[in-house]
Structure formats: C-alpha cells, structure tokens
C-alpha cells in the first residue's frame, strides 16, 4: 500500500514516515512541505537518515495524492479541509489526526467522506481508544451521581485546549450518559463560579515541558473516586495507529470512520 504524509518534515511527520517504512505491506510514496521549503526535492529516506528510497518531499499535495493509495494528515484544520476535498476528488483514502477542528469543519469532512474513505480520530493510540470505550461504559453505569472531570497535560508547544483527545473522552462520557457534550461541558473555572451543577462534565488543562500526552477521566462521588488514565511516552504510538488505520481502510467503502471502528470497539 502506497502511503504519503502531508506535513512530513515536522516531528510527527517524521514519526509517521518511519512508521510507514517499518510497517509490513506499506511503501512510503513521499511527503509534502510548504512551498519554498528548503526540504522540497529531498529524498524522504535521506531526510530520515535511512538512505534514498526514490520518494521525495514535494510542495504539491495533488501530486502526492495521485502517487498514493492513502495519505495521512496530522497538520492544521485549514490544510486538512483542503486535503479532504482532494481525497474526495481523487478517490483516495485519507487518515486524519489533526485536532482543533470545529463542528463546521467536521461537517465538511463528513461531506467529503460521502465520496471516499476517511478515518478521523482525535487520537490514534490503541490505548487511548480503549480508554474512550471504557469511559463510555463507566459513564453509562455510574450515571450522574458521579461527577466527571477530565484532566489532560501536554507539552508547552501545543496550541489547542482542551486537547482533541480530552474532548473525545468527554464525548465518550456524554454518550454513555445519553447527552450532548456541548450541553454539559465546563471548559474553564475562574472566580466565584458557584456549586458544581449535577451532570456537568469538567475539563482541566495543563501545559508544560515535553509531555507527549497524559489524560485522566475521574468519576467522583461521595465516598469514592474512580480514575481511568493513559500516559503516552512516545508519539510513535500515534504514528503506528495511523498506519494501522490506513491499512484497515484499504477495503472499506466511502464513509467517515473512527479509530474505534478500526479496533472494533
């Protein structure tokens, strides 16, 4: 399977390229960077220090899609929407790990997915997706007698808050309770905010250092507290999961799928 990486020269892009090269049954078809980048034209294998593979860094996403069976995108919302339109136009698989997409953005992804196969997830870690499934189940069992708080920490370079994974966990909890997250969430607390409303799902965001990603879902009631946690120590788990999703999507029809679909959760 020929897999290309948009935004290939950053930390995550290089992780993704290495994951493709290490995966059985995959071939790295190339990558893209912004027009004018000094890396345009460089062999992606040499960029990774693994020797030439006759696939190159380009600046034209259309050319990369044409040369690929699937493209993996961990870039930014505006770029991702452009790539989704390209995937729909050319009938290529698109795997999206971009965070910070709005509801309108997600609606556009769903529209593109009517014409091609898109796997979109806030997190491609197997462990995190298991945590989401467990969170949904726990929320359904415990009900609103238990207060739900979601605590996340990431490195100081991260630009969106709460993280896409934290919001995904919140949606899992809300689904377990049969409510819409947007109707019950509390993203910040500051000053005299009053007593905590029953049924609220709260978020706490921490930023610092080089933390790859820590997430904890707390279920707190009078007399006990249950905590479900996941800690990522390497971005390689996200890259491996994204490649796994691309391979899974190979024989799937058009549609908007999640990592939980990939894992059968």
Q: Which residues are catalytic?
A: 154, 158
Count of CB atoms situated within 10 Å of the CB of 258 = 16
| Alpha-carbon gap, residue 37 to 96, rounded angstroms | 23
- Report whether the peptide linkage leading into residue 259 is cis, meaning its omega lies within 30 degrees of zero: no
Residue 166 structure tokens: 């934290």
Residues 6+ positions from 90 with CB-CB distance below 8 Å: 62, 65, 66, 116
Contacts of 137 (CB under 8 A, 6+ apart): 176
Residues 6+ apart with CB under 8 A from 59: 32, 33, 34, 35, 36, 37, 40
């Amino acid at each position: 399977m020929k897999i290309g990486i948009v935004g290939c020269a950053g930390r995550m892009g290089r992780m993704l390229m290495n994951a493709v090269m290490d995966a059985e049954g995959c071939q790295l078809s190339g990558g893209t960077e912004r027009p004018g980048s000094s890396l345009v034209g460089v062999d992606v294998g040499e960029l990774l220090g693994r020797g030439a593979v006759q696939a190159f860094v380009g600046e034209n996403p259309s050319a990369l899609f044409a040369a690929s069976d699937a493209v993996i995108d961990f870039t930014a919302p505006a770029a991702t929407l452009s790539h989704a339109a390209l995937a729909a136009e050319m009938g290529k698989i698109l795997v999206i790990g971009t965070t910070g997409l709005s509801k309108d953005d997600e609606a556009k992804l769903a529209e593109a997915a009517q014409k091609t196969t898109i796997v979109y997830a806030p997190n491609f870690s197997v462990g995190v997706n298991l945590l989401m499934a467990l969170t949904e189940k726990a929320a359904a069992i415990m009900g609103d007698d238990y207060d739900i708080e979601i605590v996340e920490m990431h490195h100081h370079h991260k630009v969106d808050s709460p993280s896409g994974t934290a919001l995904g966990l919140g949606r899992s909890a809300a689904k377990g309770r049969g409510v819409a997250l947007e109707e019950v969430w509390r993203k910040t607390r500051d000053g005299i905010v009053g007593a905590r409303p029953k049924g609220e799902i709260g978020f706490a965001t921490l930023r610092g250092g080089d933390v790859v990603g820590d997430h904890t879902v707390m279920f707190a009631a009078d007399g006990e507290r249950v905590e479900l946690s996941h800690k990522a120590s390497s971005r390689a788990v996200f890259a491996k999961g994204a490649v796994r999703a691309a391979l899974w999507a190979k024989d799937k029809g058009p549609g908007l799928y999640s990592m939980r679909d990939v894992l059968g959760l």
